Structure 1
């Protein structure tokens, strides 16, 4: 999986690893190489799990499972990048 961000940070990402973050994060702090690798691993495993869940017959519970997966990944990544 490729990193989404490569190159020089734009206005949304700070070049500082100690960037103070707010609840709504107008700017993101720079991630270390280890954090980028963990970010990519989490997203990769989530995609694998999504593919398995999609093999289940369509229905409300499958949809709820995908939504719960999306939410759990969102919170994990939010913690990683905070």
Structure 2
């Protein structure tokens, strides 16, 4: 399976779930990258403090927050 960078215009080609992507502006690409970068930093911070059900839920919510923010940008 080929990989495509999330900020590449190539992401608009042949996607199984979302059949029609739009090409993002440079500002939208930068916003999406920043959201993902900050989400990863927060996820890593939470992961580094231990393991528990609460932290597992926290990491899931971080992932969900990034997903919804990116969906807003790409919609």
Sort the TM-score into its range (normalised by shorter chain). Answer: 0.7 to 0.9
Q: Is the 8 A contact 2:36 2:66 kept in 1?
A: yes
Which consecutive residues of structure 1, in runs of 5 or more, have no partner in the other structure?
Answer: 13-23
Instruction: Give the alignment's Cα RMSD to 1 decimal.
Output: 2.1
- Structure 1 stretches of at least 4 aligned residues deviating more than 4 Å after TM superposition: 6-9
Q: How many residues align?
A: 69
Alignment of 1:45-60 (within 5 A): 45-60=38-53
Bigger helix share:
2
Question: Counterpart in 2 of 1:26?
Answer: 19
Rg larger in 1 or in 2?
Answer: 1
2:65 is matched with 72
TM-score by length of 2: 0.79
Structure 2 residue ranges without an equivalent (≥5)? none
Q: Relative contact order (alpha carbons < 8 A, sep ≥ 6): 1 or 2 greater?
A: 2
Q: CA distance change for structure 1 residues 41 and 25 in 2, over 3 Å: closer, same or farther? A: same
